[in-house]
Chain A
């Protein structure tokens, strides 16, 4: 499957049209759709791992999590709204006893499923079952190309577990599963090795942005890529258009030629998150009351939240450039990621903390640690602290 840059219509002579025409489709997306194109659904906060930078601060099941019937009701709604597919995550979704039932339920109700997993429940039998399903896709998460780098963030043995899952999928002829990596200061140097690993399994590589969300807030300052690494990453992504990014590096498009993808924030406009309690947020990286749109358990269900919530209406308003209005690259970067700005404590109508022109850095430095927004409820089991560089 190819990533597509939105083509610009050939311009009549004399008119500089690129910014307008290129954003034609983007404008429609920004104004919102009647239903999300896809959405992320975190099924549980329970997890057998305790990754240092977990975006949902997962570890322990929350007693308020939606039960099977409530989940089925959400799926029924998604079917009525013609949501094409859901991205299931968590925590570790396969830990839920009703996980497979819900996957089957979704598929039999016209909702495709892609689920993200650390691989711990993917044995040979599960792999064969997955290989037999036409509408279920799998994404295995790792954060290092070797055990040392990966386990430093995800815990002892987690790399081996992930690899074993990949081996099972390959043996079962599952086909093209995804390998998903969150890019950090420690693993950007391994970018070529990730590609080799993915090629070895015939898997599709997906690289995504590390945001200061969830437990990520604690380690963001130590782990986020350096300026040099961002530039390196940008050029590598341009050279490898077959590598997916979930459009999460659109702030890097300010460096030059736009990266493939929509290059805009989909939160509340094209995508959103349903959390294990049924709360609806703009995206999985803003699990915070300020970005909560409502609950699927309220009278109007998910549809009402998606179509009528104040938060989403606000996000669908045209966004002004704010402090970025004097910068020539605003069209390309759209001011970056609101989650990154929010959790580093800098204004939402200004530069991204990792602004490629360096405009975000001084703002971040000036923020008193105590003034940063508090991350949502911590569902972790133990206190997790990032150590020094991973052993070589």
Chain B
């Protein structure tokens, strides 16, 4: 399923997010995949996704500058591909 910015997503319940100085580690206990989230703002964004109707809404509600949104969208798509994020 291609990543859809207008759809709601949330963190997979089998994923643990562990804070680190650079952002966080995300470990998926199901598929054993490990991802590095390399910005604290990305971690905050990921945690907020479940509260919004779409990824775009979450980005708009965040404090992330608009010119950085493409990078964050790419990051979220990558996390969805690893099943760290799932469509709700």
Contact = CB atoms under 8 A, between A and B. Distances in A.
Contacts of B38: 25
Contacts of B34: 37, 84
Nearest to A24: B38
A34 B21 contact: yes
Contacts of A112: 29, 32
A1 B35 CA distance: 13
Interface residues of B, number: 16
A112 B34 CA distance: 13
Interface in B16-53: 16, 18-22, 25, 27, 29-34, 36, 38
Given A25-B38, A82-B18, A110-B16, A134 B27 contact: no
B36 A25 contact: yes
Contacts, number: 34
B41 to A, nearest CB: 17
Given A82-B16, A84-B16, A1 B31 contact: yes
B20 A34 contact: yes
Contacts of A28: 20-22
Contacts of A33: 20, 25
A110 B14 CA distance: 10
Nearest to B32: A1
A264 interface: no
A84 B29 CA distance: 8
Q: What 8 A-B pairs have minimum CB-CB distances, sorted nearest first?
A: A84-B27, A82-B18, A28-B22, A33-B20, A112-B29, A34-B20, A82-B16, A135-B29
5 contacts: A33-B20, A82-B16, A82-B18, A84-B27, A135-B29
Interface of A: 1, 25, 28, 33-35, 37, 82, 84-85, 110, 112, 134-135, 137
